[in-house]
């Protein structure tokens, strides 16, 4: 059973149909943003958070999707508050299997593992897209587009941080779920959660790997930006250095005095301009020799 943004009436119907404790039903009406794994008799209530895909993040300031799972011995109900692509695709697969008379069987904990692994598979796809983005960023950094890559690096980093934050409690929650599932269905209920713990470990490793690559790319990009800015400032300083004689010399001959040298002599303009050019060429030679240019 999958419920998207349910109404109070739908929650009451779920409570009556599946004997859900009223306290749990009240928490399903709206997001609580608190991860949990609690057992209520023959029912396990989990609240997990998954990062929102970047394709849907433009219309919300939230970074996580909250999904509540109600796991019984022979059923699973999911409650979420916005559209989830992975759950939608899984529902279509179940409908197709029902039409072909190939029902999805298993105990409640086994069904929960099947659903949650589908959600993790969607996260692996998102991580793959993030890895591809980092590859494009790497090409841009070494192609000379360091300034343009600053925004792309920030966006890729935000995606990774959202994933890391969303699944940060999953390992502890799955441990708690495994113990509760074992209490529901014997030791056999503990086995399926090992697959989830393996998926979580793989996700955490992939996120850390991408974050390490992101850190290296950001450091390289910053170094290239600093080197470019340093080169620009060096050129500006050398230009100011070369124009200094002309500025000082022209200001010197603009003084309104009676004995200013060269002023009034034949070809005085050419003399002053020539002196200025000679000094500029001399300073240019010094700059070249000192490798300032």
The segment with the largest mean pLDDT, out of 7-21, 199-213, 261-275, is: 199-213
State residue 193's pLDDT score.
80
State residue 169's pLDDT score.
92
Where residue 192 falls among pLDDT bands split at 50, 70, 90? low
State residue 217's pLDDT score.
95
More confident residue, 279 or 49: 49
Average pLDDT over residues 247-270: 75
Contacts (Cβ under 8 Å, ≥6 apart) of 29: 6, 8, 11
The pLDDT of residue 58 is above 60: no
Residue spans of alpha helices (H) in 144-191: 149-166, 170-185
Residue 43's DSSP bridge partners are 40
Give the C-alpha separation, 24 to 75, whole Å.
16
The pLDDT of residue 186 is above 70: no
Long-range contacts of 146-152 (CB under 8 A, 24+ apart): 146/221, 146/224, 146/225, 146/228, 147/225, 149/217, 149/221, 150/221, 150/225
Q: What are the structure tokens assigned to 80, written together?
A: 């979420």
pLDDT digits (tens, 9 = 90+) for 121-179: 999 999 999 999 999 999 999 898 888 899 999 999 999 999 999 999 999 999 889 88
More confident residue, 79 or 267: 79
Give the C-alpha separation, 80 to 65, whole Å.
8
Which residue in this structure is represented by tokens 């450091």? 219
pLDDT digits (tens, 9 = 90+) for 28-57: 888 888 888 999 888 999 999 998 876 555
Residue by residue, DSSP assigns 246-277 as HHHHHHHHTS--TT-TTTTSTTHHHHHHHHHH
Share of the chain above pLDDT 90, in %: 33
Give the C-alpha separation, 136 to 156, whole Å.
11
Buried b (16+ CB within 10 A) or exposed e, 49-85: bbbbbbeeeeeeebbbbbbbbbbbeeebbbbbbeebe
More confident residue, 282 or 218: 218
Average pLDDT over residues 262-270: 76
User: Within 13 Å, how many C-alpha atoms sit on residue 188's CB side?
Assistant: 6
At CA 152, angle to CA 151 and CA 158, rounded to 5?
90
Q: What is the DSSP letter of 53?
A: P
Least trusted range by pLDDT, from 47-51, 87-91, 191-195: 191-195
Average pLDDT of the residues of the chain: 84
pLDDT digits (tens, 9 = 90+) for 229-249: 887 888 888 888 778 877 877
State residue 172's pLDDT score.
92
Rg (CA), the chain: 34
> What is residue 34's three-state secondary structure?
coil
Average pLDDT over residues 96-101: 69
State residue 50's pLDDT score.
92
């Amino acid at each position: 059973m999958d419920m998207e943004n349910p109404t109070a009436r739908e929650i009451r119907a779920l409570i009556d149909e599946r004997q859900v404790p009223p306290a749990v039903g009240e928490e399903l009406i709206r997001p609580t943003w608190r991860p949990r794994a609690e057992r209520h008799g023959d029912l396990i209530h989990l609240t997990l958070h998954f990062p929102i895909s970047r394709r849907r993040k433009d219309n919300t300031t939230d970074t996580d999707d909250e999904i509540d799972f109600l796991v019984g011995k022979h059923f699973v109900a999911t409650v979420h508050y916005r559209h989830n692509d992975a759950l939608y695709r899984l529902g279509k697969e179940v409908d197709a299997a029902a039409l072909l008379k190939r029902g999805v069987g298993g105990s409640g904990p086994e069904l929960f593992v099947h659903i949650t692994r589908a959600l993790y598979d969607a996260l692996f796809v998102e991580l793959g897209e993030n890895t591809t983005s980092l590859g494009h960023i790497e090409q841009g950094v070494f192609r000379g587009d360091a300034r343009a890559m600053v925004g792309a690096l920030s966006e890729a980093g935000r995606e990774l941080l959202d994933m890391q934050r969303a699944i940060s409690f999953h390992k502890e929650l799955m441990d708690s779920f495994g113990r509760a599932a074992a209490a529901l269905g014997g030791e056999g209920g503990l086995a399926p959660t090992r697959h989830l713990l393996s998926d979580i470990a793989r996700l955490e490793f992939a996120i850390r790997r991408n974050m390490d690559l992101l850190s290296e790319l950001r450091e390289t990009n910053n170094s290239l930006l600093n080197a470019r800015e340093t080169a620009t400032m060096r050129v500006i300083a050398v230009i100011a250095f070369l124009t200094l004689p002309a500025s000082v010399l022209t200001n010197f001959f603009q003084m309104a005095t009676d004995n200013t040298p060269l002023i009034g002599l034949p070809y005085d303009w050419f003399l002053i301009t020539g002196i200025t050019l000679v000094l500029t060429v001399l300073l240019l030679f010094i700059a070249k020799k000192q490798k300032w240019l």
